[in-house]
Every structure is written in structure tokens, then in C-alpha cells.
Structure 1
Amino acid sequence: AHKNAFAAAIFDNPPTRQEIETALHEAGLPMPTGNVMDVLNDLAQSLSPGDFRQTVDKITLYKLSDSSPLSEEDIAACAPSSTEADIDDILMVVADARADQIGPVLRKLQAQGVNAVSLCIGAMRHFRSLHRVACDTTGRPNVWGPNKDRIIGQARRWGPAKLETALTVLTDTDLKLRSAGQNAPAMALVERAFIRLAMLGSR
């Protein structure tokens, strides 16, 4: 290799809200309102752009003969579940402040081929959702999926202030992972951040 050559990791950034709206428009889907758009945005943050496009295509087919507005149930029915469910395991461990379980669960995920960037993106999505629930003033927070009650409980225990600190920790970790000059093993960075969050959550 040329002595001035260098290697930089290239990551697909999650789609922006505007890009999500464009994808829906191109697919001929009606624009969802409020909470449904938030759910779709959270999903987009947790998937690669290619996987998200495939999910939008799946939703389009799912809604082909259904003219009702896009719902959270429609999204849940079409969202990928395998790796996502595995990543959810570690996110629940972190948000439940079970620091001693983080290492073993991370090793299992690493053995399955889950990478550090996916874990960090998943954690940011989860903690953003918790923050939204913690700041909810309606008394009926918008949460969907099998972990609904657990997520509401986590949001109440953490509270908005600690969740904002958690999001700062995750944003810093994400920036380090994406830095071309980063030398520390990526999974070690994520593990350190997750343990820090679990300890914060237990206070």
C-alpha cells in the first residue's frame, strides 16, 4: 500500500425524517401522523438504509388493498424481528441496570455477528424512546411491542434528566466508533458505555 494511504470505516447513516417522508411518498403510502411517524423514525434509526427500504416495500404490499391510515400495528407486522430481537435483549439488560449481565450477553451477540455500531444505534433508539415516554404528559405514552410495560417502567425509573445523560453518553460513543482515528476495539467501547449506563440507571 502507498505510504500515505489510510483506511477509514464507512458507515451508512440512518435516514433523516425528510428521507423517510420521501421513501413513503415514492412508495405511494399516505403520510403517517404524530406518534406513528415517531415509531417509523425509531425503526429507521435501528436498521441499515437497505433494510429500511425493504421494510417500506413490505409495508406497501401489506397495505395494498387497505386504505386505512398507516398504524403502529402495520409497522410492527412488517418490521424485521431476528437480529432486532437479539439486540433488544442487551438493551433491556442495560435499561434495567443489570450491569453484571452486560458482558455475557454482548459476547453472545458478538458471536452471532452483531457489530458495535448496530448496538450503539439500537441503544440510541431505545433510550430516545424511553425519553419520549418519560416526557409524556398525556398519561397514555405511545409504546408498542411485547416489551411495552417494561419500557414504561424503565422510563419512569430513569426520568428525563438521567435519560438525557444516557443519550449524551451514547452520542459520544457513536462519534468515537465512527472516528477514523479510533484505535480501541469497537465492542470494548460499547461495553464500557453500556456498563456506565447501567450504573447510572441503578442510582
Structure 2
Amino acid sequence: MILKGAEINRYLARPDPTRPALLIYGQDAMRVALKRAEAVAALTGPNADEEMRLTRIPGADLRKDATLVVDAIKEVGFFPGQRVVLVEDTPDAAAPALATAIGEWAHGDAAIVVTAGGLTKSSALRKLFEPHASAVTAPIYDDPPGEEEIHRWLAEAGLTDVPQPAMRDLLALSRALDPGDFRQTVEKIGLYKHGDDSALSPEEIALMAPSTIDAEVDELIDAVAEGKSDRFGQLMRRIEGQGIAPVTICIAALRHFRALHAASADPGGAQAGLSRLRPPVFGPRRDRMARQVQGWGMRNLEEAIHHLLDTDLQLRSASRAPQMALIERALIRLSMMPRGAR
């Protein structure tokens, strides 16, 4: 049986212990590992390792000894509860040994969970599992988790009251982070909100989210984008004292103004455009950048980007001009540009 779409996540959250084997495969090793851990935990419950109800077998070992899985599923444990034999990083060469084990599996035996990397249509493992009447195949794609899956992770972290604005920002964050980092962030949010009966807010999500840009440079670019030339000098001297390279400042400024430009061009408005960026912008940061978009206007943003591109070329050229002076002059010019749509 081949799982498809939303049924993949639903099944892996509650696998059927009466089915002999489950194949989980995909290109992204982290996504496969997360789904494997979820499925095994759902099958065995807590304390499976301590109670010796979980047996791990490297897939490559099956090429040397094809009886490993059969012996493992038939073992009788000392503790009650569902047992699982986990075969990890499984190559196609292990397919004959797994076929034998699935053929000899009987009710009461340990469930077999097999993980593998990306498998082609001609893969021996897929040819074994996909047409099988009882075994289950769960292909894991590189899609970010959906709202249903995030709700389940939040519930596991102890959060059930999640308003729509907070869920919108979590969905945006899930597209920006790899699945392992996102799952850790959800757990971090759960710990932060432990014992707090108030609803999760976008501000709290922004506080818990991993930082993606140096705070000092971020503050400087915000001052430029908001025309706060009175703060520029102090911020610039602080960054210069930290030894941040001028080209790094220019790249960060270009990224910021390109984000403003993309949001300005979005038919859904600046807020929606910022949420659709890669990585997305959310929480109070999104509100602040949305105000910057409205203050600049499309034409002025295009002019700012052209000016930063010219500065970037000068910084990377053989010019002997002082580089910090070049980027400082460019940012001062931007901070003093007239605002408003043109």
C-alpha cells in the first residue's frame, strides 16, 4: 500500500501495528529521521529502548546475514507491549532479506520499520513494498509541514490555544527552516509557554525563532530604510568597531531592499508579500517592514536597489577607495532619499 498526500502524516502519527512492515524513504535525511522517530514512538509508546522492545539493525548488515530481521521479529520480549525492529539506511541489496521477513511475519511478531534515502521507481525496496497487500510505503517529500501537522506538534508541546495570526506565522516559519530546526523551535515555544494560559502571539514566535541576520546590521538598515539619519552615525561607528566587512553590510542592505521591493509588488499587499518571501518575515518585524514598503513606494525602492548594486560592484572592484567610506556614503544617501510612491 502506498500512502499519498495528507494520509502520510496521519498514518505515521498512528501506524497500524497489525501490518507487518513500513517503509519510510526520501531524499531529505532529516525529514525521514523525524518521521521514523514519530512512527516508532507511536507504535511502541514510551520506554521502548529501556524495555528492550526496540531492535535496531543497520540495513547494510542484511547483505551479510539475511536472517537478522527474521530472528529479531520472532524474539519474545521480557516486557509487555508492541515491539519494533528498525532497519535503518537500507540499501536495495537488503530487499531479499526483508521479503523473507515479511513473508514469515505473523500476528504478535515485532513490526518492521525500514528507512531509506531517495529511491527510484526501479528500486528493489519499492518493488517489494508498494504492491504488497499488507506492507505500507510512506514516501517523504521535501514539502514543509502543513497546518494539521503543526497543530499536532504544538499539542505535543502542550499548546492547544493557537490563534490564526500565530498559526500563520508558524506556517511561514516552517517554510524558512529545515524540519529539524522547526521542530526544535516548536518545542522551545512549548517550554516558553509552559504554565502560561495566554494565547500564543506572533511576538512570542518572533522571540523564539532563530535569528537570521546580525542584529546590529539589521538595526542599521532599518534606520536607513526609515530615514533616521540622526541615528545613522552612531550605529555605523558601532558596526565598524565590530569589524564587520563593508561588503557584508552591502549584501544585507541589498537583501533588505529587495525584500521591500518584492513585497511592494505583491498583489496581496505588503503584509502578504513579506510572508511569502524566502525566508518569510513575520511578527513585529513584518509590521515594521510593511510600514517601510508604504513609505518608499515602488519606484524609489527600484532606485535604491540600483544604487546598492553600483556600490556592491565598486566594493568588489580593484578600486582603491576606502570601502567602509563607500558603503557609508551609499547608506547615508539612501537614508536621505525622498519617500513616497512615484
Q: TM-score range by the shorter chain?
A: 0.5 to 0.7
Partner in structure 2 of residue 152 of structure 1:
290
Deviations for 1:6-55, whole angstroms, at most 9, x for unmatched residues? Answer: xxxxxxxxxxxxxxxxxxx655552459x959x84xxxxxxxxxxxxxx8
TM-score by length of 2: 0.39
The gaps in structure 1 that reach 5 residues or longer are 1-24, 41-54, 67-72
Distance 1:32 1:196, change over 3 A: farther
SS of the residue 2:227 aligns to: coil
* Bigger relative CO (Cα 8 Å, ≥ 6 apart): 1
- When structure 1 is superposed on structure 2, of 142-151 and 127-136 the one drifting more is 142-151
Deviations for 1:66-110, whole angstroms, at most 9, x for unmatched residues? Answer: 9xxxxxx69x723446xx111111011100112232222111111
2:237 paired residue among 88, 102, 107: 107
Would you tell me which structure has more helix in proportion to its own residues?
A: 1
Partner in structure 2 of residue 85 of structure 1:
215
The gaps in structure 2 that reach 5 residues or longer are 1-26, 32-141, 146-170, 187-204, 276-280
- Checking the alignment, whether the CA contact within 8 Å between 2:295 and 2:339 is kept in structure 1 is no
Distance 1:27 1:169, change over 3 A: farther
Q: Distance in 1 between matches of 2:288 and 2:249?
A: 20
Aligned residues: 151
Q: Distance in 2 between matches of 1:145 and 1:120?
A: 25
Partner in structure 2 of residue 45 of structure 1:
none
How many percent identity over aligned positions?
37
Deviations for 1:155-196, whole angstroms, at most 9, x for unmatched residues? Answer: 0110111000000011111111111x1211111111111011
1:156-175 aligned at under 5 Å gives the runs 156-175=294-313
- Largest Rg, 1 or 2: 2
Distance 1:110 1:134, change over 3 A: same
Deviation at 1:136, TM superposition (A): 1.9
Would you tell me which structure has more strand in proportion to its own residues?
A: 2
1:38-187 aligned at under 5 Å gives the runs 40=176, 60-63=180-183, 77-80=209-212, 84-139=214-269, 140-141=271-272, 142=275, 143-179=281-317, 181-187=318-324
Q: Distance in 2 between matches of 1:27 and 1:182?
A: 45
AA matched with 2:337:
L
AA matched with 1:78:
P
